[in-house]
Amino acid sequence: MFETLVRSCLHQVSPYHPGKPIGEVQRELGIKKVVKLASNENPLGASPRAVRLIRRLAASSFIYPEGASPLLRQALAKHLGVDVSRVIIGNGSDELIRLLCEAFLDPGDEAVVSRFGFIRFAQHARLMGAKVVEVPMEHWRHDLSAMAGAVTAKTKILFVASPNNPTGTYNTAQEVGMLLNTVPSRVLVVLDEAYYHYARLRPDYPESLKEMAQAHSNLVVMRTFSKAYGLAGVRVGYAVAATELIQWLDRIRMPFNVSLLGQLAAEEALQDAAFVRRSVALVEKEKEKLYPILQKWGLKVTPSAANFLFVESRILGKEVFQRLLYEGVIVRPLDEYGLHHHLRISVGTPQQNRILLRALSKVLGTRF
Ligand SMILES: Cc1ncc(COP(=O)(O)O)c(C=O)c1O
User: Ligand 1: distance of its center to the CA of 64 in Å?
Assistant: 25
Is the beta carbon of 194 within 6 A of some atom in ligand 1?
Answer: yes
Is the beta carbon of 117 within 6 A of some atom in ligand 1?
Answer: no
pLDDT value at position 147?
Answer: 98
Q: Which atom of ligand 1 is nearest the CA belonging to 237?
A: 11
Is the beta carbon of 232 within 6 A of some atom in ligand 1?
Answer: yes
User: Ligand 1: distance of its center to the CA of 366 in Å?
Assistant: 33
Ligand 1 pocket, mutate which of 76, 94, 195 (most atoms under 8 A from CB): 94
Is the beta carbon of 93 within 6 A of some atom in ligand 1?
Answer: yes
Which of the following CATH numbers is that of domain 2-45+274-364: 3.90.1150.10, 3.30.70.260, 3.30.9.10, 3.90.1170.50? 3.90.1150.10
Residue 244 exposure: Cα atoms within 13 Å on the Cβ side: 4
pLDDT value at position 12?
Answer: 87
| Per-residue pLDDT tens digits of the chain, which is 368 residues long | 899 999 998 998 888 888 888 988 888 888 889 999 999 999 999 999 999 999 999 999 999 999 999 999 999 999 999 999 999 999 999 999 999 999 999 999 999 999 999 999 999 999 999 999 999 999 999 999 999 999 999 999 999 999 999 999 999 999 999 999 999 999 999 999 999 999 998 999 999 988 776 779 999 999 999 999 999 999 999 999 999 999 999 999 999 999 999 999 999 999 999 999 999 999 999 999 999 999 999 999 999 999 999 999 999 999 999 999 999 999 999 999 999 999 999 999 999 999 999 999 999 988 88
Is the beta carbon of 313 within 6 A of some atom in ligand 1?
Answer: no
189, 158 in Cβ contact below 8 A?
yes
Is the beta carbon of 226 within 6 A of some atom in ligand 1?
Answer: yes
Is the beta carbon of 192 within 6 A of some atom in ligand 1?
Answer: yes
SS (H, E, C) the chain: CHHHHCCHHHHHCCCCCCCCCHHHHHHHHCCCCCEECCCCCCCCCCCHHHHHHHHHHHHHHHCCCCCCCHHHHHHHHHHHCCCHHHEEEECCHHHHHHHHHHHHCCCCCEEEEECCCCHHHHHHHHHCCCEEEEECCECCECCHHHHHHCCCCCEEEEEEECCCCCCCCCCCHHHHHHHHHHCCCCCEEEEECCCHHHHCCCCCCCCHHHHHHCCCCCEEEEEECCCCCCCHHHCCEEEECCHHHHHHHHHHCCCCCCCHHHHHHHHHHHCCHHHHHHHHHHHHHHHHHHHHHHHHCCCEEECCCCCEEEEECCCCHHHHHHHHHHCCEECEEEHHHCEEEEEEEECCCHHHHHHHHHHHHHHHCCCC
pLDDT value at position 19?
Answer: 84
pLDDT value at position 350?
Answer: 98
Which of the following CATH numbers is that of domain 48-271: 3.30.110.40, 3.90.1410.10, 3.90.1150.10, 3.40.640.10? 3.40.640.10
Q: Where are the domains of the chain?
A: 2-45+274-364, 48-271
User: Ligand 1: distance of its center to the CA of 67 in Å?
Assistant: 22
User: Ligand 1: distance of its center to the CA of 165 in Å?
Assistant: 8
pLDDT value at position 213?
Answer: 66
The residue whose CA is least distant from atom 12 of ligand 1 is: 194
Is the beta carbon of 224 within 6 A of some atom in ligand 1?
Answer: yes
275, 115 in Cβ contact below 8 A?
no
